[in-house]
Amino acid sequence: MSPQPVNTSNARSVRDVVFVDGVRTPFGKAGEKGIYHGTRADDLVVKCIRELVRRNPALPPERIDEVAIAATTQTGDQGLTIGRTAALLAGLPQSVPGFAIDRMCAGAMTAVTTTAGSIAFGAYDVVIAGGVEHMGNHPMGAGADPNPRFLSERIVDPAALNMGNTAENLHDKFPAITKERADAYAVASQTKLAAAYTDGNIQPDLVPVAARRPSEGYALHTSDEPPRPGTTLESLADLRTPFRAHGRVTAGNAAGLNDGATAAVLASAQAAEELGLSVKMRLVSYAFAGVDPSIMGYGPVPATEKALAQAGLSIEDIGLFEINEAFAVQVLSFLDYYGITDEDPRVNRYGGAIAVGHPLASSGVRLMNQLARQFEQDPSVRYGLTTMCIGLGMGGTVIWENPHHADYGKDA
C-alpha cells in the first residue's frame, strides 16, 4: 500500500513563549513561630492568582487556558489537584482547568516548562503556572514511604534520601569548597538581599498576605520572614553541623524550612501582542537532567549543559544567573565548573534562598521574577538563566532572553 500524502493545511509551527508577569507571597519560616502557622497552603496560592489577575487587567480571565500549580507534598491543603482547586477558589471561570505537578524543588519550574511546551505547540495561549509549599503543615518527607528496594538493592545511597547529607557529599567531592568559603557565600547572599530590599527590588512582586495566627489575630505581611541582615562570618562560624559531626553544612549556609507560594502568567508571543500584555522575558530553552542522588546538588551542571546546547549558546553568552541556593556548596560547585568566581556580579544579584528562603515547589518562579526585574534594569544583558538542584538527584535549567536588549528576537 502506497503511503498517503500528508495533509499540511493544519500543520503546527512552534510558537515563542513569553513570561508576562510573576508574583509571590512573602516567604515565612516553617513551624509554630512562622507567620503562616494557621494559614492554608491553597489560600497562599489563591492570593497569587488573584494578584496576577488584578495586575494584568488586559487579560480576560476566560482567556486563561490552564492553571498548573506544583507542590512536593500533595496531600491535605496541598492536595486535591491544587491547580484546579486554586483556580476555583481564586474566582476564575469554571471553564478554566487546572492540575497539580511535582518535581520536588523544581515544581514551579516544571509547571512553567510543561505549560510553556503546550503554548509552543499551540494547545494553550495563556496559562498560570506556579507552586506552593507549606513546610510547616507538611514537613519535607513526612508521610513518605520510600520503596524498600532503594535500600535492599542499593539503588541509591541511603544518605541520598536526606538532602543535607548530599550537600556534605558535595563538600567531600570538591574539597576546595570549604566551610569557610560556603559561609562567606552565605554572608554575601544575606548582604545582597538586604541591599535589594533597600533598593526596592524585591517588594514590587510581593503579594501582601493577611494571616491569622492561633490566639494572636491577623497581621499583614509585606516582607519575607527568613532574612538575617547583618549576618557575619563570625556569627556563622560556630553553628552546629546537623548532618555530620564536624561537617560543613549548617543552618547558616543552607536554605531554611519555609512556607510560601508563587505564580506566573505565560503566553504565546502572539497572544501577548493581541491582548496587550507586557513581555518580561522570552523562553529560549530548558532542560532537566539526572545525577547520582548522593550528590543531588550537582544537578544544575548537566541541566545547564543541555539547555545551552539546545539554545546554541555557551556559558559566556549568559549575562545573569539566578541559581537556587538550596546549599552554598551546591551553588559553588556550579560556579567552579564554569570558572565563575564566587563574587561574580552576574550571579544572584538580589541574594538567594539562603537569605530569602526556599519553600520547595514554589522557588522556581521566584528565580524567574528576580531575573525578569534584573533584565528590565540591565538592557545590556541579552540572555540569563534560572537553575536549581532537585531532590533525588536532578537539576533543571531555563534560559531566557531579555526583551529590553537591542538584539532581542533576532535569530530566534
**Marked catalytic residue, from 37, 134, 171, 389:** 389
Residue 358 known to be catalytic: yes
Q: Is the dihedral of CA 24, 26, 30, 35 positive or negative?
A: negative
Report angle CA 107, 110, 113 to the nearest 5 degrees.
155
Is 37 designated active site?
no
φ, ψ dihedrals at 389, nearest 5° = -80, 160
Number of other residues whose CB lies within 10 A of the CB of residue 410: 9
CA distances in angstroms from 119 to 12, 53, 149, 216, listed in the order given: 11, 19, 39, 45
Alpha helices in 208-299 (DSSP H): 233-237, 269-275
Catalytic residue among 134, 138, 221, 358: 358
- Nine-digit cell string for 280: 518580561
Which residue in the list 37, 48, 105, 138 is annotated as catalytic?
A: 105
Contact 347, 323 (CB under 8 A): yes
CA 6 to chain centre: 41
CB atoms within 10 A of CB 157: 16
- CB count in 10 Å sphere of residue 403: 20
Any catalytic annotation for residue 389?
yes
Rounded alpha-carbon distances, angstroms, from residue 346 to 319, 321, 398: 6, 6, 16
Active site (catalytic) residues: 105, 358, 389
